[in-house]
A and B are shown apart, each in its own frame.
Chain A
Amino acid sequence: MNLRQNLGIALESLRANKLRSALTMLGIIIGVAAVIVLMSIGSGTQATVVSRISSLGSNLVFVRPGAPQQGGVRQAQGSAATLTMEDAEALNDPARAPSIALVAPEFSTGGQVVAGNRNVSSRVVGVTELYPDVRNYTVSEGEFIGKQNVDARSLVAVLGSNVAANLFPDSTALGASIKINRQQFRVIGVLASKGGTGLGFEDDVVMVPISTAMTRLASQRSVQGGRSVSVINVQVVNEQEIDEAKEQIAQILRERHRVTGEDDFTVTSQEDTLSTLTQVTGVFTAFLGSIAGISLLVGGIGIMNIMLVSVTERTREIGIRKAVGAKRRDILSQFLVEATVMSVLGGGTGLAIGILISRLVSGMTLNGQPLVTVVSPEIVALAVTVSAAVGLFFGIYPATRASRLHPIEALRYE
């Protein structure tokens, strides 16, 4: 008795009971399709998050002020104003920090931006000329803030595409005069939109020279010292050297800040953020998958149910087979193959339906966010393997029962 003959018997038996086989397979079909659709949504979300994080710039390391100790009480992280422009300049040292390619400090504040009779509330970021290279911004009109603007503390601004569109819906923003917190600035450039690829807020920004921001705009914000930067963005020469870069940054800053105990700054890489978010979306995907897995389990129980009915119905056939010399394992494998064939056929159909549905779902929007689905080979392999395993597992009990039937009792069964 070989596998090919068992397959033949299984297919013949499934054909003989078409409706019943189809209904049994329906359980597996729905289960597998649900797994495919839900997990593809999960992986789609994951892929979206990853691509948005990556669009911020590649090989990034962020240095932020740490949590200060004040009288033994640990303050909130980032509330210390310990990072200065001089720290940023010190990091730009190829001799001591060879893994660092570019350093771009930024000073973030918020502000009321007014042009004519229109005004918007926007994030205002003080930057240096290297900022667009580090954070993947490009200028669509005009030019970006230059080194001379930073040195001269010029009152010039570059608008994010959303801000430009809001303030100047009909005319060009270039050359126009705007007010940020009642200070007059000239618009010298407009940033290209990052569109749907970013995290959504990159286009709601106004950029000014960091020197101007710290001296002219910082007074509006209660910042200790006034001359401290919010974040130092560091671009590492390549992906492999991120850990070295983090170590070099930490060494330089510890020395400069004369740190003895806990660091007064934190260094996080984009990879850290990415891995955290990947973890979160991974849990989300697994959660969706396990919900769908329950329906696959129910489908498997359906197979067991039908196989038990089938064994009872075919008791006489089993008796005949045993009378002419079928051994236990012959009968066992016959019914196991039948259960597995049913679940694999169901799994294949479910796979096709699942892929189809996830394609259809892919274009739709949910709460304004486009739904992205990714059917990865892993998901497909998982769904097919699990459905075959379900058939095999839930086939074992009925098949064992069939194989243990006594030939005489089986032959007498009506």
Chain B
Amino acid sequence: MADATPPVIQIQDLTKTYYIGDLAVPALRGVDLTIQRGEMVAIMGPSGSGKSTLMNIIGCLDTPTSGAYALDGADVSGLSDDQLAEIRNRKIGFVFQSFNLLARTSALGNVELPLVYAGAPDRRQRAIQALDRVGLGDRINHRPNELSGGQQQRVAIARAIVNHPAILLADEPTGALDSRTSEEIMAIFQSLNREEGITVIFVTHEQEIAHHTRRVIYIRDGVVQQEEGVEAPIDAATLLAHRVALELESEESTSEVPA
């Protein structure tokens, strides 16, 4: 937010090339991107545009072929696997389209996982706090198969924020959810971004979801094609309140799946 602090993500001329046998397949062909601390950014693009590759590199799950990437002011492009694991653990929270929770582990256990690998104390207490933050304080002992899709995604968000990361990355976080649940998830993201200043970056292919942010970045053929500023981003909480009011009025809530 303030200009004095370095941007949380600074990417210059980033490329990534995959090799299938002798065939070189470029996924990113020189991406420049700067994201300031506290921003909420949506990344859009058709499939095969390289947006997932970019997310993986931003999330330190993958390494670039060339180019510079500074996360939180520190260069991370040349780190080893274990060093990247530590960065992922301390600075990055992930939310996936398919939730990616451990199936045999309770919500609490899933949220504790990053703390376990961080060797942090007070794991249980901190995990419960994170689950409270996403409104699942009463479901801590449920396993993923005992939770709805929206609840599972909230567990995933709690897991992502439990270590107080610098950035929260979400790859199509609402892709597997209906519109109302999607709105609830977006409300959580907006609240985390506004109230706790967490930088949120998410990939989506729905214009409506992208318009919950002020800044939308379009990726095509491995480069940033254009950026769009959103004048009045949708406020998920207001929208939800509005919908609830409408439902109460018309009592046509049968088509909606409660979270």
Contact = CB atoms under 8 A, between A and B. Distances in A.
A1 B117 contact: yes
Interface stretch (A233-241, A267-275, A288-296, A320-328): A320-328
Interface string B94-107: 10100011101100
B202 to A, nearest CB: 16
Interface in B32-61: 56, 59, 61
A120 interface: no
B220 interface: no
A327 B82 contact: yes
Interface in A1-35: 1, 5, 12-13, 16
Interface centre among B90, B102, B114 (most CB of A within 10 A): B102
Contacts of B89: 324-325
B100 A325 contact: no
A407 interface: yes
Interface string A325-368: 11111100000000000000000000000000000000000000
B96 A411 contact: yes
Given A320-B100, A320-B102, A411-B100, A327 B61 contact: no
Contacts of A323: 59, 61, 88, 94, 100
A320 B61 CA distance: 11
Contacts of B100: 316, 319-320, 323, 411
Given A1-B116, A1-B117, A330-B117, A325 B85 contact: yes
Contacts of A204: none
Nearest to B119: A1
B86 A408 contact: no
Interface string B67-89: 00000000000000110011011
Contacts of B59: 323
A328 B80 CA distance: 11
Contact of B90 (A321, A325, A327): A325
A335 to B, nearest CB: 15
B104 A16 contact: yes
A77 B105 CA distance: 78
A141 interface: no
Interface residues of B, number: 26
Contacts of B163: 325
A317 interface: yes
A408 B56 contact: yes
B212 interface: no
A323 B60 CA distance: 9
Interface string A372-414: 0000000000000000000000000000000000011001000
A408 B94 CA distance: 12
A309 B85 CA distance: 25
Nearest to B118: A325
Contacts of B96: 411
A325 B86 CA distance: 6
B62 A408 contact: yes
Nearest to A410: B61
A317 B61 contact: no
A1 B96 CA distance: 24
A409 to B, nearest CB: 10
B159 A324 contact: yes
B113 interface: yes
Given A1-B116, A328-B85, A407-B61, 15 more contacts: A1-B117, A1-B119, A317-B102, A320-B101, A320-B102, A322-B85, A324-B94, A325-B88, A325-B118, A326-B85, A327-B82, A327-B85, A327-B86, A327-B117, A329-B82
16 contacts: A1-B117, A5-B116, A13-B104, A317-B102, A320-B102, A320-B113, A323-B88, A323-B94, A323-B100, A324-B88, A325-B117, A325-B163, A329-B82, A330-B117, A408-B56, A411-B100
Interface of B: 56, 59, 61-62, 81-82, 85-86, 88-90, 94, 96, 100-102, 104-105, 113-114, 116-119, 159, 163
